[in-house]
């Protein structure tokens, strides 16, 4: 009876609302040693600087998703190769506007089973929804078919990873690894709950390669055949092409994003210094919801200047760039646009200006770097 009531309520909300639904997906949220050091303030960690110029763009979406590529494994905090971020990092991402954390990625077991368990405990304590990893089989069976109600639109989201850097599960935690039969079963189980859209967020591909590989293309075709609406990729730490394609089998458009690149990190090669936020507008129709449009917004990670932390800078805020960041920004943006202009299909750059509603003082002009 409860399930029927929830479904009827969602249907009523859907039918009585004429608004489009906007979704935003972000790439890999990393925590390297240099980021941890930059955030340290005595015995606490302050990330308020990091997201202030993009948080309004993220919060403006009806629902926002980020790949949480680290653990909250506790002290000692550590970056690469086995990440354990300060707990404050998770709350900063939540405060930036993210509604869901993806955790099926190659670093989710960096602190082994105990670290994964503590990560989920902390996210739960902060009220942060998460998918892709689970404390045990029973929890996976209960929580894996994740559906969120966004303005009456029921959106199902699944999350998988190619591996965990050779670290094996020791006891009973569960990680969603890429397994075609399992994914097919999960999509079928999710569809039994009558979602309006299904998104599969997937950790795949070759690191630092700006174009997807054959394995990614083949798996994307497989997911299309299953009827998935949104295929959102991460892991390569650089952007890769995105496209809207039409599925003849399902008679609908679907979005494929091969890699969103880094959302925030301390990586320093040209193509790793930023990533893309992809914005998806879903249109309500009398027959079924459908993708109305998709666009991307490039964001660059500015290295610390004058005591500030790492900062995410959108392309329309070049006035915020300081020191060598001006050159690195242009290198990253030019390379990303070159790939997107060549390979993207029906996914253009979002030219809207990121408006910061709360007045924030500019970083003092100083070309020195920490």
What is the DSSP annotation of 254-270? EEEEEEEBEEE----SG
Residue 287 has a pLDDT of 80
Q: Which alpha helices (DSSP H) does the chain contain, by range?
A: 2-16, 33-39, 55-60, 87-95, 112-125, 137-143, 180-191, 214-225, 325-343
CA distance linking residue 110 with residue 88, whole number of Å: 18
What is the DSSP annotation of 285-314? -SS--EEEEEEEEEEEEEPP-TT---EEEE
Is 341 a residue whose pLDDT tops 60?
yes
Q: How far is CA 175 from CA 141, 182, 202, 258, in A?
A: 12, 12, 12, 21
Q: How do 239-247 and 252-260 pair as beta strands? A: antiparallel
Residue written as tokens 């996210």? 123
- Least confident residue range of 80-84, 178-182, 195-199, 357-361: 357-361
Residue 165 has a pLDDT of 97
CB neighbours (10 Å) of residue 287? Answer: 5
Is 6 a residue whose pLDDT tops 60?
no
Read off the pLDDT of residues 207-257 as tens digits, 9 standing for 90 and up: 999 999 999 999 999 999 999 999 999 999 999 999 999 999 999 999 999
Q: Which alpha helices (DSSP H) does 17-166 contain, by range?
A: 33-39, 55-60, 87-95, 112-125, 137-143
Read off the pLDDT of residues 104-161 as tens digits, 9 standing for 90 and up: 999 999 999 999 999 999 999 999 999 999 999 999 999 999 999 999 999 999 999 9
- Determine if residue 101 is left, alpha or beta; phi over 0 gives left, psi from -120 to 50 gives alpha, anything else beta: beta
Residue 356 has a pLDDT of 67
- The set of residues, in sequence order, having a beta carbon less than 8 Å from that of 6 and lying 6+ positions away, is none
Residue 301 has a pLDDT of 98
CB neighbours (10 Å) of residue 290? Answer: 16
Read off the pLDDT of residues 38-55 as tens digits, 9 standing for 90 and up: 999 999 999 999 999 999
- Determine if residue 281 is left, alpha or beta; phi over 0 gives left, psi from -120 to 50 gives alpha, anything else beta: beta
Q: How do 130-131 and 100-102 pair as beta strands? A: parallel
Is 1 a residue whose pLDDT tops 50?
no
- Least confident residue range of 5-9, 68-72, 291-295: 5-9
Residue written as tokens 């960690």? 45
Read off the pLDDT of residues 256-285 as tens digits, 9 standing for 90 and up: 999 999 999 999 999 999 999 999 999 988
- Least confident residue range of 276-285, 291-300, 354-363: 354-363
Closest to 259 in 3D by CA, of 243, 278, 236? 236
Measured in whole angstroms, the distance separating CA 296 from the mean position of its chain's CA atoms is 13
Angle between helices 87-95 and 112-125 (to 10 degrees): 40
Is 306 a residue whose pLDDT tops 80?
yes
More confident residue, 9 or 24: 24
Closest to 242 in 3D by CA, of 258, 228, 253, 261? 258
With a pLDDT cut of 90, the percent of the chain lying above it is 87
Residue 178 has a pLDDT of 98
Residue 307 has a pLDDT of 84
Helix/strand/coil for 89: helix
Kindly report the average pLDDT of the chain as a whole number.
Answer: 92
Residue written as tokens 């003082």? 361
Measured in whole angstroms, the distance separating CA 105 from the mean position of its chain's CA atoms is 11
Is 13 a residue whose pLDDT tops 60?
no
């Amino acid at each position: 009876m409860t399930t029927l009531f929830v479904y009827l309520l969602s249907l009523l909300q859907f039918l009585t609302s004429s608004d489009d639904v906007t979704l935003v997906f972000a790439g890999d949220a990393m925590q390297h040693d240099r980021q941890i050091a930059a955030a340290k303030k005595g015995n606490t960690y302050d990330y308020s600087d990091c997201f202030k110029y993009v948080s309004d763009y993220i919060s403006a979406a009806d629902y926002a998703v980020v790949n949480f590529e680290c653990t909250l494994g506790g002290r000692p905090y550590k970056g690469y190769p086995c990440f354990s971020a300060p707990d404050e990092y998770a709350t900063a991402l939540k405060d930036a506007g993210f509604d869901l954390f993806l955790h099926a990625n190659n670093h989710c077991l960096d602190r082994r089973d105990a670290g994964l368990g503590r990560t989920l405990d902390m996210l739960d304590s902060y009220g942060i929804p998460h998918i892709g990893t689970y404390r045990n089989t029973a929890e996976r069976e209960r929580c894996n078919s994740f559906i969120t109600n966004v303005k009456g639109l029921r959106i199902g989201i699944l999350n998988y990873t190619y591996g965990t850097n050779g670290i094996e599960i020791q006891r009973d935690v569960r990680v969603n690894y890429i397994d075609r039969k399992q994914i097919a079963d999960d999509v079928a189980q999710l569809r039994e709950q009558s979602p309006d859209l299904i998104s599969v967020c997937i950790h795949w591909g070759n690191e630092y390669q700006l174009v997807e590989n054959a394995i990614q293309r083949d798996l994307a075709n497989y997911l299309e055949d299953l009827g998935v609406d949104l295929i959102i990729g991460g892991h390569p730490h650089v952007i890769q092409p995105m496209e809207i394609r039409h599925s003849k089998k399902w008679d609908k458009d679907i979005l494929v994003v091969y890699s969103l690149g880094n959302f925030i990190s301390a990586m320093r090669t040209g193509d790793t210094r930023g990533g893309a936020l992809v914005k998806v507008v879903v249109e309500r129709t009398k027959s079924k919801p459908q993708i109305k449009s998709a666009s991307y917004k490039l964001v660059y990670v500015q290295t610390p200047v004058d005591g500030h932390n790492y900062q995410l800078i959108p392309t329309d805020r070049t006035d915020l760039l300081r020191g060598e960041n001006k050159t690195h920004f242009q290198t990253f943006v030019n390379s990303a646009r070159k790939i997107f202009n060549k390979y993207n299909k029906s996914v253009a750059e979002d030219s809207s200006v990121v408006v910061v509603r709360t007045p924030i003082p500019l970083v003092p002009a100083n070309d020195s770097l920490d």
